[in-house]
Structure 1
Amino acid sequence: MKKIVLFLWCLLFSLQLQAAPLQHVSHFDWLVKKEFVASPNANFFEAITPQEIAFSLSKLSSQKIELPQKKHLSRAEFYQALGNALATQVTVAHTNDVHSHILENKRAKEFGYAKIASVIKAWRKSSEHFLLLDAGDTTQGSLYGNLFKGESIIGLLHLLGYDAMAAGNHEFDYGSKQTLKLKRRLNLPLLSANVYSHNGKYFLTPYTFKTIAGIRFAILGLTTPETPISTHPNNVKGLQFASPEEVVRKLVPELKKKADRVIVLCHTGVEEDRKIAAAVDGIDLIVGGHSHTPLRKPEYVNGTSIVQAWEYGKAIGRADLYYYQDELVAFSAELFPYTENIAEDQEMKKAVDAIVKKLGPRLEEVLAVTEVPLDGERTKVRTQETNIGNFIADTLLERTKSIAGHEADVALINGGGIRTHIPAGKLTRHQLFDMLPFPNTLVVLEVSGKEMWKALEHGVSKVEHASGAFPQVAGMSFRYDARRASGKRILEVSVKGKALDLQKTYRLATNDFLASGGDGYVWDEKNFYNSGITMFTLVEEAFSKQKSLSPKVDGRIIDLSKP
C-alpha cells in the first residue's frame, strides 16, 4: 500500500482515539471553496475513487498519486482527514461562573476542580494547540473562596494552567484593593478593558496576546457594567464601568493591527455578547459568562461564535477553531456536562483537600434539621415566592424587634442573594454558607409607602429575565401582573393586612447591599441604621434556635399572569 494511503488511515485511526471535539466539525464545505474537491456533488458517503484522491493531493504537490479504490474509505472519511491534515486546529477550553465550587457535588452535578483538571489534562494531551480561559466569577461564591477573600482559588487556577481570566462582578466583592491583590498574585492576566480607575487609567489588564501555532491571538477582557449594583457599591467606589460595546468598537480595530485573530473573554451575559457580536466585525470567538447560560451549542452572530459554559462547574466548554492560510475555515463547540465516570486528578485533589482542611470540622456541624427542601433554586428565588425566601425575610424582620428604636414593619431581600438549594435533612453550616455567601449586613431604613411601592415595582421589573433584584418579603404581601409593562406591574400591596399607605413612613429591614443601591434599588437620600450583623449569622442563629424547620409558601407574593 502506498505511503499516502497508510498516512491517511493512521490519521483516521488517531482521530477516533483522541478526545476530539465533542461535536465533530465538517471540513467539506471549505475544501470545496478552496477547490480541493473534484466532485462536490457526488454522494458523500459512497467510496471515494483513486482519481478523486489524486486530484485532492495534487493541490498539495505537483505530483498526482494514483491510489487503488477502497470501498470502505468514503468521501466523508477522506475529506474529513484531509481537512484535519490541512487546517491548524486551536482548542479553546473554557469555564465561567464556577463561584469557588471547588468540590464535586453529585446531587447538583458539579465537577469540582479535581475532575475538571482530569478533563483539561486529557484535552491538552489530545490537542497540540490549546488555550484555557475563564470568564469570571471564579474566586467568590462558596465558603472555600469567601473565607479566604478569593486567595484560596488562585493556586487551583495555576494548577489548571489558565491562560487568561476575565474579571467578573463578584471578583470585586472583597473590595477593589483585594481585587488588585488577586491580580498581583495570579500568574495569568486578570482582564477587563471597560473598568477604569478614578484617574481614567485601566484598573486591570485590558487585553493580552497569546501566540498559538504561529497565530497571534488578542484576548480582550470585559466586565459587566452592572457591577456597581451587583456588588456592594462601596466595593467599587471610585471605579468607572464603561459600555462593553463601546469599548469593543474602539479596541478591536486597534487589536487587529497587532494580532492575527481576536477573542473576547467577557463577563457581561449572553444578551450583551450578542449585541457586541452584531455591532463589531472581526471577532472570531466570544467566551462569555455572568448570565449562567448553558449554551450547549454555539450561537453565531455576524460571523462570531458565542459560547458559555453554564455555572458552578456543571459543564466544561470546548471550542475548536480551524485555520487555513490565515483564515478561520471551520468551527465546532459544545459543552461537556458533568459525569461521575471521571477519575479525579490527584495533584488537584491534594490542593483542594488542603483548602477544605483549613476550614476544619466546624463547617460540617449540624445547625438544624429541615423537614422540607429549602427552595433556593436560582430560577425560583428570582421569579417567585419561595419557602427559604420567606424564612430569611421573616428572620430579618424578627431580629429587628430586639433592636430598640429600629423595630421594622416590613422586610425585603433580593432573591439573587440566595445562592443555592438545600435538600430536606440535616442542615450544616457549610450548606448555609453556600446559600448565603455574601457578607451583607442587616440594616433598617425609613421609607415612605410611595418608595416601598416603587421598590417593589423595580423588584419585579425584570422578573421574566430572572433578575437578582426580585423581592422576597416579610410583614407585607403584594400582587402583580408580569404581563404588564415594567413600572406598572404592581396592583396591590398590603402591610399587616392593611393597604399600603403611600404617604405613611415605614421601617424597612433589608441588607446593606440593597440599602446602598445594590441590584438597582433606589431610595430617597437618607441615612440608615446598620446592625453590623451578617445575613449568614442571623440565619445561622435562627436555624440553631429552631432546630427543626418546615418553612412554607403562604401566598405573600402572587403573579396574576400565572394560572
Structure 2
Amino acid sequence: MPDKKTEVPPNESITFSSGDHDGPPDLRILHYNDVYHVDQSSSEPVGGAARFMSLIKHYEEDEKYKGQPELVTLFSGDAFNPSLESSVTKGDHMVPLLNNIGTNAAALGNHDLDFGVSQFKHLSSKCRFPWLIANVLDPALGDSVPIGNCKKTHMITSSNGIKIGLIGLGEREWLATINSLPPNLIYKSATETAKELVPQLRAEGADIVIAVTHMREPNDNKLAEQTDGFIDIILGGHDHYYNHSFIKGTHVLRSGTDFKQMSYIEARRRADNSGRWDFDIVRRDVTSAIPEHQPTVALVEKLTASLKATLQKPVGYTAAPLDARFRTVRLKESNIANWVCDIMRHYYSGDCTIMASGTVRGDQVYPPGPILLKDIMNCFPFEDPVVVINVTGKAIWDALENGLSQYPALEGRFPQVSNITFKFDGRKPAGSRIVSATIGGEPIDMARKYRLVTRGYMARGKDGYDSLLIEEEGGEAEEIVSEENGILISMMLRQYFMSLRVMGQWKYWGKNIGRYWDRVTRKVSISHTHHTPAATATPVSPTLKKSASGWDNWTPEKIRERKTCQLPVDTESDSEGDSADRQYVGEIETIDKEMQIMRRVFAKWARIAKVESRVGEELREGEFEVDWTRAIAPRLEGRITCVGGQEE
C-alpha cells in the first residue's frame, strides 16, 4: 500500500535569487551538513530525521517539480559522531538514514573519524555514495591516496545529462585535533589542490564544478578568494550555522546543522555561453509544522530499538567503588572525578583539567564489579564535548575561586581537577577562598599560559566560569580544540575501557586508535591502578544462571555475578535481540530497580538514625573474576583540601 502523500507547508526563505526565469532549472541540488541527532529537539526549528525526510520527499516528488531534473543531494560531513546514540552504535545507525536521504556524495568530516579510520572505512563501505577528500593523503595506502580510501573527486551525471564535477576538501585545523589518525599524513593546501584538480574535472567534461568541503567559513571564503571563480559553488560544513556569501564569482554556502536546516538550490546555465551558472538558493528550516515521514519514524525506532539491550551490557570493570554521589563530587575530591579528569588531560596532552562537578550525574556509589554502558551514559549524559583552551594562571585561579564560591551548597560548579591541587577555606568570602594552589606541583604562575582541558559548557562561561570564556564568545581564552572538534566524555570513557580489553575489542578497532589509547591508559594508570585478570578468572558465560533466592541474591559477590553473566558489549560473538538478550536485560532492570529502592530506604534510615554511610572497600586479589578486561581502580590523591567551613 503506497504511503499517504506528505503535505509540506510552503515556508521557503529565499537566501539568494539570480532573478526571474521562464523555464525550469537545469539542475536541482539539495545540501545539508553536520547531522548528529536523529530525534527532534524541544525548540524551533525542531529538526529530526523524520521531518527532514518529509522535506526531501517534497523536493523529490511534489507535482511542482514533475518533469524537472532529478534531485542531486550533497552532504558536507560529520554524521557518525558525536551523539549519545553514536556512543553506543559507533555511528552505524546513521548509515541507513544517509542512504535513504538519497545522498549522492559526501565530504569527509572530522567527527566521521572519531572511532578511528578502520571504523570509518567499515561505515563508508555500507554507504551507497562516495566520501571525498582530496587534500589529506595517507602514504601507507599508496601514492597520493586520500585518508580512509576516500575519493579525491567524483563525477555525477544528472538525469538530464549534465556532468557535475565534485571535489572534496578539508582543513588543516581539524586534523590537528584528532588523536587516532595514521602517522605521516600529508596535508595539502585546499587552494593548491583545487587549482590542480578542478582543471582535470573540466577536462573530463564537467559542466559545473562544486567543492564539497568540511572547513570553517573563513577557509571556504579564502578558497573562493584564491580560485578566482573557477569553482561554481562551495558547499561547506563544520560550522553549525546557516550562511551564504558570493566571492569573486563563487557562491559559498553552509546549510545549518542537525537536520534543522537544509538548502534547496536551482542552477541554470547562463544564456551568454560563458559556461557560468546562475543560482537560486532557498533555505528551509525543519520546523514542527512539517509532518514526520512515517517510514522514517519506523526506521529510527528500528535503528534505536537494539540500544536498550546494548546499554545493559558490561563495557568495563571496576575493582574500586566509584563515588559519584552529589554530596561527594560537589563538596570534595572524588575518585571517579579524578579518574575522568586524568583521562581528559592525557587524551589531549593538557597541562591540567578543570571539570565542573555537575558533569557527574550518577548520584550513587558504583560498587566494585561490572560497569554497564548505561552507567557511563547516565553518569555523563551531557552532549557538549571536551575542549582545550590556552589560558593564564590567573584565569585558572579565578575559575577555581568561582567553583568554590557557593560552597558548601551542593552546586554543580564545584571544581574537580587533574594535575592541580588546591587548599581552600570555606569560611572566607567568596572570591578569596583559595589558600594555596599548584599546577604540576608548582605554584600557579599567574602570567603563564597553561593548556587547560575542560568542557565546552565551561568555555562558554556557564556556571560563572567567565575566566574560561573563549575569544569567540567575548573572553580571552585561546581555543585550541573547539566544541566542533572535541569528543564527548561518554565516548572518551568508552574508548578508554576498550583499550583495557584483553579480548573482544571492536572489530574495527584499528592500530592507530589502539596505539594512542595505550599511551593514555599507561599515563592514567600511574595514579589509578589497573588490575589484570587472574589466571584463574572464570570465563564469562552468555548463559544466564538461575538466580538464588532471598538475601543470598544480594551479596556483593552475587550481584557482580548476576551483572556479568553475559558477554560484554562489542564482543563479535554477541547476538542482538535474542531471548538471552531479553532475559539479561530484564535481570539487569530488576537488579537496578531493587537496588534503587534499597538505597532510598537505607538513606532515609541512616538519616533518622544519624548513621554515616561510607564507601566500601576495593576488591582484593582473587576477587576480580572476569577474563575479558583489566579492571580500573580510581584513587583519591589529596588534590582538594578544605581547611575550614566544611560540613560536619
- Given the two structures, how large is their TM-score scaled by the length of structure 2? 0.50
CA distance change for structure 1 residues 414 and 443 in 2, over 3 Å: closer, same or farther? Answer: closer
| Counterpart check, 1:202 vs 2:145 | yes
Aligned to 1:168: 109
| Counterpart check, 1:227 vs 2:174 | yes
- Structure 1 residues 261-300: Cα deviation after superposition (integer angstroms, max 9, x where no partner): 10000001111000000101311111101122321xx210
Alpha-carbon deviation of 1:22?
Answer: 3.8
Aligned to 1:306: 252
Which residue among 353, 366, 376 is the counterpart of 1:412? 353
- Structure 1 residues 48-81: Cα deviation after superposition (integer angstroms, max 9, x where no partner): xxxxxxxxxxxxxxxxxxxxxxxxxxxxxxxx4x
Alpha-carbon deviation of 1:413?
Answer: 5.7
Contact preservation (8 Å) 2:18, 2:279:
no
What is the distance in 2 between the residues matched to 1:165 and 1:285? 15
| Counterpart check, 1:179 vs 2:120 | yes
Alpha-carbon deviation of 1:346?
Answer: 1.7
Which residue among 229, 244, 249 is the counterpart of 2:190? 244
What is the distance in 2 between the residues matched to 1:393 and 1:477? 23
What is the distance in 1 between the residues matched to 2:171 and 2:135? 9
Query: What secondary structure, in the 3-state scheme, does the structure 2 residue paired with 1:246 have?
Result: helix
Q: Which amino acid aligns with 1:302?
A: K
Aligned to 1:88: 25
Which residue among 510, 513, 529 is the counterpart of 2:523? 529
Aligned length: 392
Query: What secondary structure, in the 3-state scheme, does the structure 2 residue paired with 1:114 have?
Result: helix
What is the distance in 1 between the residues matched to 2:332 and 2:301? 31
Contact preservation (8 Å) 1:137, 1:167:
yes
Aligned to 1:217: 164
Could you tell me which runs of 5 or more consecutive residues in structure 1 were left unpaired when the two chains were aligned.
Answer: 1-16, 29-79, 372-387, 461-465, 491-510, 514-524, 534-543, 548-563
Aligned to 2:81: 140
Q: Which amino acid aligns with 1:270?
A: E
Contact preservation (8 Å) 2:50, 2:292:
yes
CA distance change for structure 1 residues 429 and 242 in 2, over 3 Å: closer, same or farther? Answer: same
Alpha-carbon deviation of 1:447?
Answer: 4.5
* 1:420-499 equivalences in 2 (<5 Å): 429=377, 432-433=380-381, 435=383, 447=440, 456=449, 470=459
Alpha-carbon deviation of 1:243?
Answer: 2.3
Which residue among 116, 120, 125 is the counterpart of 2:52? 116
Could you say what the CA RMSD is over the residues aligned between the two structures, in angstroms? 5.2
Contact preservation (8 Å) 1:456, 1:471:
no
- Structure 1 residues 338-394: Cα deviation after superposition (integer angstroms, max 9, x where no partner): 310111112211111112211118869xxxx999xxxxxxxxxxxxxxxx9x99998
Contact preservation (8 Å) 2:74, 2:105:
yes
Could you tell me which runs of 5 or more consecutive residues in structure 2 were left unpaired when the two chains were aligned.
Answer: 1-7, 313-323, 362-374, 389-416, 421-438, 480-491, 496-518, 529-595, 601-648
CA distance change for structure 1 residues 456 and 247 in 2, over 3 Å: closer, same or farther? Answer: same
Deviates further, 167-176 or 451-460: 451-460
What is the distance in 1 between the residues matched to 2:200 and 2:251? 21
Aligned to 1:292: 240
- Structure 1 residues 161-208: Cα deviation after superposition (integer angstroms, max 9, x where no partner): 100111101111111111222222211001111121124422211111
Alpha-carbon deviation of 1:151?
Answer: 1.7
CA distance change for structure 1 residues 457 and 299 in 2, over 3 Å: closer, same or farther? Answer: farther
Deviates further, 137-146 or 274-283: 137-146
Q: Which amino acid aligns with 1:357?
A: A
CA distance change for structure 1 residues 304 and 457 in 2, over 3 Å: closer, same or farther? Answer: farther
Contact preservation (8 Å) 2:351, 2:452:
no
Q: Which amino acid aligns with 1:193?
A: A
What is the distance in 2 between the residues matched to 1:157 and 1:488? 37
Contact preservation (8 Å) 1:363, 1:430:
no
Which residue among 2, 8, 14 is the counterpart of 1:23? 14
Contact preservation (8 Å) 2:39, 2:48:
yes
Which residue among 123, 141, 157 is the counterpart of 2:98? 157
What is the distance in 1 between the residues matched to 2:262 and 2:115? 26
Alpha-carbon deviation of 1:121?
Answer: 0.8
Which residue among 105, 115, 124 is the counterpart of 2:41? 105
Between 1 and 2, higher relative CO (CA 8 Å, sep ≥ 6) is seen in 2
